[in-house]
Amino acid sequence: MALPDPIKLAQVLNPPQSLIEFSARFRTETDCEEFLFRVRYPEGFVCPRCAVERGWSLDGKRLVECSNGHKVSLTAGTVLHGSRQGLLTWFHAVLFIATLTPGISALQFQRQLGLKRYETAFQMLHKVRASLVVPGRELLHREVEVDETFIGGKDPDRDGRGGDKVLVVGGIEVRPFSKPKTGKRRERAGRLRLRVVADASANSLSGFVEQEIQPGAIVHTDGWDGYRRLKRSGYVHQRTVQGKGRNVTHILPHIHRVFSNLKAWLQGTHHGRIEPKYLQAYLDEYTFRFNRRFWPGPAFLRALTLMVRTKHKI
């Protein structure tokens, strides 16, 4: 099922733009049910049993009733289904992850929402962050920096033998512009993609580029062999080989800045304690916020829309 246009949906639903607005708008389970009903059925409800086009959510029951009296679950087929936690708690999880710059740790979330078990808090946050990839999203284009880095392990700054190190490849658009007065070339970062890969082979690294970046784009990488086939794959491949004594920040500055901020976030909010099997979901959370860093308002609605898509696995 295609996702509704986020801008049109935001115009209709007018999602909260601040914590104050959020708290004023969502006070009870019924408030959340009514909002969720409109997010889930943006084109209007159609009863799956009798096809009648009139229905409404029933107070506090997470059910939708059609005008012929059929009852349908409001959360069936979504990650919210079967959860014993209230929708108000779920809405807070979505708000914190989608809009707070540092996100939130499971421990903080457990305390702030008064949840009994840490595991419950962790699973809720995981389900939100694992929902955040927009299906069929556009490829990165024009000019992109690509590089890879290790996350985790005993000493992430050293190439030594640490446990549980995971290789992550990232691509970020570079958007050149000229300064109005001087006409000097400057660059700003565009959209980001991050992916856990098994190794630094050509299949993993060039494979990432081929799946995430539009052919014909200029792709900047370092001199590593894993990127050698990009020219054959239809990219304008710009390799910068790092010379001796050359400052590493001078090459691929945008993706290096992302890696360093990503690691600071994982250390800061999450204390670096992330199991490799969950890392991709954290990368998706980071990417979701990064790509919406100038538009925090619609991010809450977008995240909620992604969560009530049906038929996705966590």
In the complex, minimum distance from the CB of residue 64 to Zn ion, in angstroms, rounded to a whole number: 10
Closest of 171, 253, 254 to residue 212, by C-alpha = 171
Q: How far is the CB of 189 from Zn ion (least distance, A)?
A: 49
Can you list the alpha helix ranges (DSSP code H) found in 186-312? 202-212, 253-268, 276-291, 296-307
Query: Which secondary structure element, helix H or strand E, spans residue 12, and what is its range?
Result: helix 6-13
CB-nearer residue toward Zn ion: 58 or 115: 58
Cβ neighbour number for residue 203 with a 10 Å cutoff: 13
Q: Minimum distance from CB of 72 to Zn ion (Å)?
A: 8
Between 66 and 301, CB nearer to Zn ion:
66
Summary count for the chain: helices (H), strands (E): 10, 8
Using DSSP bridges, classify how beta strands 166-178 and 185-197 pair: parallel, antiparallel or unpaired. Answer: antiparallel
Quick one: 66 or 252, whose CB is closer to Zn ion? Answer: 66
Q: Which is nearer to Zn ion, 43 or 275 (CB)?
A: 43
Distance (Å, rounded) from C-alpha 221 to C-alpha 270? 29
Task: Pick between residue 38 and residue 70 the one whose CB is nearest to Zn ion.
Answer: 70
212: left (phi over 0), alpha (psi -120 to 50) or beta: alpha
**Closest separation in Å from C-beta 275 to Zn ion:** 44
| Least distance to Zn ion, CB of residue 47, Å | 3
Using the minimum distance from each CB to Zn ion, give the nearer residue, 58 or 139: 58
State the Cα–Cα distance between residues 284 and 188, nearest whole angstrom: 21
Q: How far is the CB of 44 from Zn ion (least distance, A)?
A: 14
Residues contacting 301, CB < 8 A, separation 6+: 6, 9, 10, 13, 15, 39
Strands (E), the chain: 55-58, 63-66, 71-73, 143-151, 166-178, 185-197, 218-221, 236-239
- Pick between residue 28 and residue 67 the one whose CB is nearest to Zn ion: 67
Residue number with CB closer to Zn ion (23 or 68): 68
Q: Tokens 């959860």 belong to which residue?
A: 83
Q: By the criterion CB under 5 A, which residues form the site for Zn ion?
A: 47, 49-50, 66, 68, 70
Closest contact distance (angstroms) between CB of 124 and Zn ion is 31
CA–CA separation, 39 and 303 (whole Å) = 11
Cβ at position 30, least distance to Zn ion in Å: 22
In contact, 197 and 226? CB cutoff 8 Å: no
